[in-house]
Amino acid sequence: MLECRLTPTDKPCPDYWVVVEPRNAWNATSCDVTKCDVDDLVMLRSSLAVFGVTLLDVVIFRDDFRWWSLHELACGTTEWTFEQPVPR
């Protein structure tokens, strides 16, 4: 993901990201959303911040039409309280 951030282009890569992660029920070893996923979100947010990226959320979708917002699981809200982006 950082390759698009670090590759020079005509237009800069956005500073606010949402990651969409599909998970398939047939792959039972990685299908369930756990506390480890929430912990990974917190760690990934910190890591991406070093590169000037604000990770708004990781949304996990399963093939049985269930989905989770890791931001909501981590913070207990669907509202983002991050600073508003400054136009470049």
2 within some domain: no
38 within some domain: yes
The structure's pTM equals: 0.77
- Is it the case that residue 81 has pLDDT exceeding 80? no
Q: 38 is in which domain, residue-wise?
A: 14-75
Q: Which two tokens stand for residue 70?
A: 């890791």
- 41 burial class (0-12, 13-18, 19+ CB within 10 angstroms)? buried
4 within some domain: no
85 within some domain: no
Q: How far is 1 from 16, CA to CA, in rounded Å?
A: 13
5 within some domain: no
pLDDT on residue 27: 66
Please tell me the total count of domains within the chain.
Answer: 1
- Is it the case that residue 56 has pLDDT exceeding 80? yes
pLDDT on residue 76: 84
18 within some domain: yes
- Confidence category of residue 29, pLDDT binned at 50, 70, 90: low
